[in-house]
Chain A
């Protein structure tokens, strides 16, 4: 039984070695494409529709995880990785196979046996939940995970430490980020930000505003009962919606 396979690995020697080992250990395996970055792997996936894909996770352009997502349900994925503690934990569920670099012969034999069984069993399994978990680990997910905000200011892109941010304000689909010295618009929504911000340090005070607690200089109560916040070093005030006014009762 012939099995078609794809190899994606950015380092030439490792790529060549994997190909040589596969040819040696499993003559039934037909390598249809050898790719040096994520983008060419995506293209090869599209044109050859291989049954198996050996994907390096860290690759230029498009990561191995993204390629795997495109390959989902049609290709059996075997990840190769040097050392990724978090990833390996997620792999341990057994849903997806992985090879630790440097790749040992015996371990590769085991993977190939598993691959043959899976191909025999039928269609590739759904990896979307495993991939989401992995990508989640790669990106900001836990509360307080956001440490930096990257934003365009004029012609330059700047990384602000989250400690520099005074407040976030929703503007249509975008969010205005205001620091002590700059302000910028980012394409992340307020809700997405809220998930990644430390709830102790950043308070939502309005449907459209998140403020850093220690940037609040004063809470002003207007005659009509509305509450507005004065922010350190800024002229403008931010409205507080009634749902969040409990925070400022004591002020």
Chain B
């Protein structure tokens, strides 16, 4: 794939700009190149001015400071800039990946080559100067001739030793931008992972949007529940108007919680709290209808209720508890919902009933299977649902999912 990411913008990591004055820009881009030069060039000039001063002491050759500055600027500029500038030119050509890498390596080698050529020139100048220097020392009786010859041979050997050449090449490579190659090679990986992160973010936003649409669809109150409740109300109207009223009130609360609030539905994320409110109003209708045979409790701390929670999951589980647990059982029953935040940012929601319990053997249970499928699609193995029988009858359903706060 062609390098298509922008060269003129800082690289972002996890959405924020990469740290580092020039290193926040793509390696070998213009922005990277000139920002880097702004640091390395003055440093190089300073180094050469000091070195020239030191050499002047040693060689006893004082030069006009303007010349020293000019020469230092040119030399430092060539050493610092040749490789990076050529590499930046290469990057602008937008070659294929392998060609670009080869061309950049070539550019950096040219930079090192230029630097080394300059170094050789300086070396030669010194090697020419040293004999005169030692001659002078011998003349002024500061050194014996043997000592001066030994010292001179040592200087020349040192200047031409392989170790010193390697050291010089390494320094030129470093100053000339070769060490940025690693960052250059890493950059694509970094950029691609950032792109993936952005895609993930987009997907998450899409999912949240879908949630909001789902919560609108949630208006689909289970028909059996609705008709049965209306049948109940109809029967009560004449015989027990007060209870009929209570049933209608509970039903109205449930419908209010279930039916979409169109005006702000597109901004309303689904929280555990909003889902629990649906459960509460549903259970209240059932409690009034069942002649108070049913009791229920919901125990969730306010900060837990604020956590994000997918729609169409909790109410079906509570409906399940009523349909398979409470309705088939004779006598009083209770349903309990508890939620808490567990270590490791896990949200655990537990729905307990003391109804008819689980029957051994195979069953369909499309609703439950849907919840399971939805969990695995949405949280990719980070969420689970388990259903177990309870001692003394009843079922305990446990939902575990990542504790995520609502996107703002």
Contacts and interface: CB of A to CB of B under 8 A. Distances in A.
Given A39-B330, A186-B360, A148 B239 contact: no
A140 B362 CA distance: 8
Interface in A76-110: 82-84, 100-103
Contacts of A188: 361-362
Given A11-B232, A157-B358, A196-B362, A148 B240 contact: no
Given A60-B328, A102-B234, A158-B387, A13 B360 contact: no
B372 to A, nearest CB: 6
A20 B238 CA distance: 11
A108 B287 CA distance: 28
A193 B364 CA distance: 12
B197 interface: no
Given A11-B235, A150-B361, A157-B360, 15 more contacts: A13-B240, A13-B243, A14-B232, A14-B235, A58-B323, A58-B327, A60-B327, A101-B230, A101-B231, A102-B234, A150-B359, A150-B360, A157-B388, A159-B358, A186-B362
Given A13-B243, A146-B362, A156-B388, A161 B369 contact: yes
Interface residues of B, number: 42
A186 B359 CA distance: 11
B227 A13 contact: no
Contacts of A27: none
B236 interface: yes
Contact of A147 (B234, B240, B323, B364): B364
A196 B362 CA distance: 8
Given A11-B289, A17-B234, A82-B228, A148 B330 contact: no
A61 interface: yes
Contacts of B223: 82-83
Interface string B231-261: 1111110111001000000000000000000
Contacts of A186: 360-362
Interface residues of A, number: 46
A11 B330 CA distance: 12
B388 A149 contact: no
A159 B240 contact: no
B389 interface: yes
Given A147-B368, A148-B362, A158-B388, A102 B230 contact: yes
Interface in B321-374: 323, 327-330, 357-366, 368-369, 372
Contact of A11 (B290, B368, B372): B290
Contacts of B391: 155-156
A31 interface: no
A199 B226 CA distance: 37
A148 B388 contact: no
A147 B365 contact: yes
Nearest to B355: A60
Nearest to B290: A11
Interface of A: 10-14, 16-18, 20, 37, 39, 58-61, 63, 82-84, 100-103, 139-140, 145-152, 155-159, 161, 163, 186-188, 192-193, 196
A102 B239 contact: no
Most central of A10, A82, A186 by chain B CB within 10 Å: A82
Given A13-B236, A140-B363, A147-B368, A101 B228 contact: yes
A150 B224 contact: no
B291 interface: yes
Contacts of A157: 357-358, 360, 388-389
Contacts of B329: 60-61
A150 B369 CA distance: 14
A11 B225 CA distance: 13
A61 B328 contact: yes
Contacts of B226: 83
A187 B323 CA distance: 24
A64 B366 CA distance: 23
B161 interface: no
B372 A83 contact: no
A41 to B, nearest CB: 12
B232 A161 contact: no
Contacts of B323: 58
B2 interface: no
A17 B364 CA distance: 35
A151 B359 CA distance: 8
Given A11-B232, A16-B235, A17-B234, A158 B361 contact: no
